[in-house]
Amino acid sequence: MKNITKIQLGQNGPFVSRLGLGCMRMSSIWGGSTPNEVESIATIHEALDNGINFLNTGDFYGAGHNEMLISKAIKGRRNDAFISVKFGAIFHNGQPLGMDLRPISIKNFVNYSLTRLGIETIDLYQPSRMDNSVPVEDIIGTVADLVKEGKVRYIGVSEISAGQLRKANSIHPISALEIGYSLADRQVEDELLPTAKQLGIGVVAFANTAEGFLTGQMTAPLPADDYRIHFTRFQEENLSHNLKKVEVLKQLAENKGCTPTQLAIAWVKEQGDHIMPLVSMSRRSRLPENIAAMSIVFTKEEMNVLNTTFAKGAIWGGTYLQR
């Protein structure tokens, strides 16, 4: 590890980089080719060179394309990378159809992922959501069998309720909870994050910029072809209201000599030693800025400004995280 400190995921879990690399946006949701595969692979290489070993993917990202991309990037350097894979989400033509977490399906999915990734063992394997038609015991029990078989090293979960997290952890130790968390999305602070902390489960926090909203680069109205226009948070009076909050973030960033994105990532990191920011970066130019965010600290007053401006309910409307 070079520039990045480590974090332990779960009480007896792995030590990984404190900043994770989200690879989702390196693949098209429809599958097939990416906007810039060469740059994506170069970004993974540069992240690994900087000690960012946590690579996050899903078997449904680009209909398997994302795993094949990672496979190319880690050729010859498997030991530098910690690979986290989500599974179970079923898509058709880029549209979500639901979840399939039947034991026979999980056993099938894992072999395809291993083949696409070109590896023997997945470091962290996690259902991307729960499947209400399958008991949690069967889902986690099946992944636990994969651990015994040596196909999976650690078990994670993603976007689940506090009750489901407790249940899952009672069946097999859960190392990590992957969850959307940012200044703009704090509802998980009520029950889910305290439960993870109490159970000693690491938190892999994604969407730190809330779909780019906290980068300070969003302007109103969004162009008609911007996918984010479908989220109520980014529509009409909600957007004008919400952008005023971002002005406070921008001002604080200017005062501290950093960027709003860095503050958004640093705020997540400051919420607990067991919380890891997982950030999408599809180009090398993102790395220096986001790595530097991991060294930012806040005064009490600065934290107070952020927590007051972005108190729960301060941001109007939602994104897919509130579904």
CB of 264 to ligand NAP, least distance (A): 8
Question: Please, are residues 74 and 44 in contact by the beta-carbon 8 Å criterion?
Answer: yes
Tokens for 149? 């078989």
Binding part of the chain for ligand NAP, among 90-98, 133-141, 163-171, 202-210 by CB under 6 A, reads: 202-210
Binding part of the chain for ligand NAP, among 22-30, 44-52, 96-104, 245-253 by CB under 6 A, reads: 22-30
**Residue number with CB closer to ligand NAP (119 or 291):** 291
Q: How far is CA 121 from the centre of its chain?
A: 21
Tokens for 78? 């498997």
3-state secondary structure of 20: strand
Indicate whether 261 belongs to the interface with ligand NAP (CB under 6 A): yes
Indicate whether 22 belongs to the interface with ligand NAP (CB under 6 A): yes
Give the whole-angstrom CA distance, residue 147 versus residue 21.
Answer: 24
CB of 248 to ligand NAP, least distance (A): 18
3-state secondary structure of 90: strand
**Residue number with CB closer to ligand NAP (188 or 207):** 207
Angle between helix 136-149 and helix 162-171 axes, rounded to 10 deg: 40
Indicate whether 278 belongs to the interface with ligand NAP (CB under 6 A): yes
Whether 61 is a known active-site residue: answer yes
Of residues 106-145, which lie at the interface with ligand NAP (CB under 6 A)? 128
Indicate whether 44 belongs to the interface with ligand NAP (CB under 6 A): no
Q: For CA atoms 101, 105, 109, 111, give the dihedral sign.
A: positive
Of residues 284-303, which lie at the interface with ligand NAP (CB under 6 A)? 286, 289-290
Q: Which residues carry out catalysis?
A: 61
